[in-house]
Structure 1
């Protein structure tokens, strides 16, 4: 094959190779008789057909071709494969034994409203149960499911994005606790039902209400004063409050509330100072990662007794260089590794960390795009497969270093290598002969995509 193959060259190679994984990758790019030649390779054994019918990586074009095979086990897998295209689902229902597949088709994300309308949800409770959570469900069917469904089905109807106000009101009147909770959380929940949910004695309903994106400011404030900490925590995530209300949250006795507040952007400096001394280490961790934290706060948290808090400081984009250098000498390797993963380190600090004996630290250096090539080469030859993979995940790794890993003994490393943007086409062509099927498939898929685009 020429050094710069055409798409036709690749497809022909897939057909002539007898390799089902090359044929799988090239199938979407082939047409007519050439596609039929690939299908002879793909469907040569029943085991392969069954495997590809259920695999999440199988291209939709192959799933569509499999749907036309008269094999019930394959069709059952296709009905559950999330990549099966709408036209194949239609074929399965109309031309195959669609009644036996109705439950799977009812729940399928690619099922069209027209197909769902034809399914036997009126006579089959299992189909009705499967269909009521489908986001493609027309409102007419939602109303039917409500009229005929059990509480569990009605709960799914209440959470369906297509549910309208009238149906939400009718669902609320069922007086089922969990159905009402879903109604309270729905963006279309009308104001008078939100008011009832706000004063409901059951905390589960008030917690779900707090997740509703359509809440008014007054409703949010009321939920922030709720006696249940779970309700307050849910209300604190994403609410727009006054400074005084935020200060109250910072003093909340519930850790879950303080954690939710500590994650917020634009924290008042006084609140940030308060949180940096909080007894809960998770609260301190969120402050340690906050790029708006003052230097004195970061200095204190960089010496925190909890290693995860210190590591959080290493992940702060605003952490000053001298503090990073201090953390690079931390007695805990997990903290030093946090420094090693940063992409803004000076070369001398990268070199120093490269002399560390801990695997996590060396992996961080291996992924660092500022790591000198000579050091990367040493890491690429490391005995540990995870350390070698760090070099493969390094976006700045040069083609020469990547080429050293083409024959890495660990298949996952080679499968990851195939996806590196700097890997040269000659190396990709070599990987079409890799002993691992997934490596061959990913290499072939990438080659076909790039050749078609060029």
Structure 2
């Protein structure tokens, strides 16, 4: 079967109206990625779930194990799967980007933790998405790797349990525990610095750990990772002043964003924030993410890093949102659009149409992205991205929909629109452009009978389920 048919079937696999019998036939196709596409659908009929759970290809079952849209109880049934690779996928958890995924039932985590293959339990405690109460229960486990994982649930541990972990016989466990308290413990900060070498967590210790005067002077004199040290809240004022004139612009930038500085003191530090600089949210701003008065001051700050940090905070008052939506810094506006619960619709539209960052393409999925009136505003735009937005308008006229469905640059997007006449959807299925044909196959207005005919023409075999032929 040619590439065109592969594209068509992938479109069909993503059709939200595809009935169970169509999905079951696709599960039997020879194309691995097509089978996995079915298993990764957010919503699956129960009979399709049952077929996925016993599918002969373990990669299909593993794909369902990492389906963040699937029911956790259904995913949890895979703890009884015969393949350790499926258990491994289940332990790792869904591959979800900025998506909240419901946890598995506790019994599933217990089975994974007791798995006879160490790589499965190791995957869960090191990289998996086990909830905090599951990790907290590992604090007295005989395996130090499990006790180390328990430290990630520090807030749920009793004081006596924390003390045991801080004095654990295993140095890696002591290190994981010390990282949780180093911001208030000079002795453990000193120990972590001495033990870390050039490890991955040294930067965190230098930025957060409580420093003795002696250690602070030694670190500054050593001249390594000074930018991290410059952010440390316990750095003595005279050393802060010294680093404020450091020749390294990264160090001066860190100093300029310290929480104790006034606006005038920040301005006195020679620093710049370039439009392309990728800066993490300032921890001391995030800690006060629901303090409206504080966030209002950050939004009005002349310091770009403070405004960027405020832009991701859910507690922003409305006046601060309006101010940041007009900010001169593109990253401030983008972060506000990405993270604020109800970003201004016009901000979303402006960023989508005029922004160059790859993230702007995802803004159409944000709450409040405008729809009404876009056909009149953008239907005749010379920019195809703008014309495609006209398809979001609930008041889109049939004439414009037809024109967009014949425009080479908007045809594929229009092909998914359920308002498109069935006759036109059928025409698009035969379109020489594979993308347009695949879009038509994904159109929920495509009749189920047409979907089955498409499978027949693609020579996708009928299958038997409970002695009944699927595909008739």
Cα distance, 1:88 vs structure 2: 0.8
Count of aligned residue pairs for this structure pair: 342
CA contact 1:367–1:391 (8 Å) conserved in 2: no
Q: Distance in 1 between matches of 2:231 and 2:449?
A: 52
Structure 2 residue 134 is matched with structure 1 residue 116:
no
Q: 1:266 to 1:24 in 2, by over 3 A?
A: closer
Q: Distance in 2 between matches of 1:66 and 1:193?
A: 51
Post-superposition Cα deviations, 1:241-261, rounded to whole Å, max 9, x if no partner, equal 434234435xx3655599799
Q: Distance in 1 between matches of 2:414 and 2:235?
A: 47
Partner of 2:124: 105
Three-state SS of the structure 2 residue aligned to 1:116 is coil
Partner of 1:266: 300
CA contact 1:203–1:231 (8 Å) conserved in 2: no
Q: Distance in 2 between matches of 1:49 and 1:41?
A: 6
Cα distance, 1:230 vs structure 2: 1.4
Q: 1:415 to 1:97 in 2, by over 3 A?
A: farther
Q: Distance in 1 between matches of 2:414 and 2:259?
A: 39
CA contact 1:379–1:391 (8 Å) conserved in 2: no
CA contact 1:184–1:193 (8 Å) conserved in 2: no
CA contact 1:50–1:74 (8 Å) conserved in 2: yes
Q: 1:155 to 1:135 in 2, by over 3 A?
A: same
Higher relative contact order (CA 8 A, sep 6+): 2
Three-state SS of the structure 2 residue aligned to 1:400 is coil
- The one of 189, 193, 204 equivalent to 1:182 is 204
Partner of 2:170: 148
Alignment of structure 1 residues 47-86 onto 2, 5 Å: 47=58, 48-82=60-94, 84-86=104-106
- The one of 108, 126, 138 equivalent to 1:88 is 108
Q: 1:113 to 1:369 in 2, by over 3 A?
A: same
CA contact 2:53–2:78 (8 Å) conserved in 1: no
Q: 1:141 to 1:265 in 2, by over 3 A?
A: same
Q: 1:381 to 1:223 in 2, by over 3 A?
A: farther
Partner of 1:389: 413
CA contact 1:158–1:182 (8 Å) conserved in 2: no
Q: Distance in 1 between matches of 2:254 and 2:140?
A: 40
Q: Distance in 2 between matches of 1:334 and 1:100?
A: 42
CA contact 1:53–1:63 (8 Å) conserved in 2: yes
Q: Distance in 2 between matches of 1:114 and 1:132?
A: 5
Post-superposition Cα deviations, 1:178-218, rounded to whole Å, max 9, x if no partner, equal 555323434xx44x549954883156655335556x67996
Partner of 2:244: 225
CA contact 2:372–2:392 (8 Å) conserved in 1: no
CA contact 2:231–2:254 (8 Å) conserved in 1: yes
Superposition CA RMSD, Å = 6.2
Q: 1:84 to 1:196 in 2, by over 3 A?
A: same
CA contact 2:203–2:225 (8 Å) conserved in 1: yes
Cα distance, 1:72 vs structure 2: 2.7
CA contact 1:109–1:135 (8 Å) conserved in 2: no
- The one of 244, 259, 281 equivalent to 2:264 is 244
Which consecutive unaligned segments of at least 5 residues does structure 1 have?
Answer: 1-12, 273-288, 302-307, 437-454
Three-state SS of the structure 2 residue aligned to 1:170 is helix
Post-superposition Cα deviations, 1:335-369, rounded to whole Å, max 9, x if no partner, equal 9xx9xx99699989836x7252x544544555678
CA contact 2:229–2:235 (8 Å) conserved in 1: no
Q: 1:180 to 1:97 in 2, by over 3 A?
A: closer
Cα distance, 1:97 vs structure 2: 1.4
- The one of 45, 49, 64 equivalent to 2:56 is 45
Alignment of structure 1 residues 50-449 onto 2, 5 Å: 50-82=62-94, 84-94=104-114, 96-97=115-116, 99-107=118-126, 108-110=128-130, 112-113=134-135, 115-117=137-139, 119-122=141-144, 127=145, 131=149, 134-135=152-153, 139=162, 142-143=165-166, 147-149=169-171, 159=179, 162-163=180-181, 169-174=187-192, 175=194, 176=196, 181-186=203-208, 189-190=209-210, 192-193=211-212, 196-197=215-216, 200-201=219-220, 205-209=225-229, 222=241, 225-227=244-246, 228-237=248-257, 239=259, 241-249=261-269, 252=270, 254=272, 256=274, 265-266=299-300, 350=377, 354-356=380-382, 358-363=383-388, 374-384=399-409, 388-389=412-413, 400-401=419-420, 410=435
CA contact 1:380–1:388 (8 Å) conserved in 2: yes
Q: Distance in 1 between matches of 2:421 and 2:452?
A: 17
Q: 1:246 to 1:260 in 2, by over 3 A?
A: farther
Three-state SS of the structure 2 residue aligned to 1:91 is helix
Q: 1:24 to 1:235 in 2, by over 3 A?
A: same
CA contact 2:64–2:70 (8 Å) conserved in 1: yes
Q: Distance in 1 between matches of 2:253 and 2:399?
A: 50
Q: Distance in 2 between matches of 1:143 and 1:412?
A: 61
Q: Distance in 2 between matches of 1:238 and 1:370?
A: 51
Q: 1:56 to 1:377 in 2, by over 3 A?
A: same
Tell me the TM-score normalised to structure 2 length: 0.49
Q: Distance in 2 between matches of 1:140 and 1:433?
A: 64
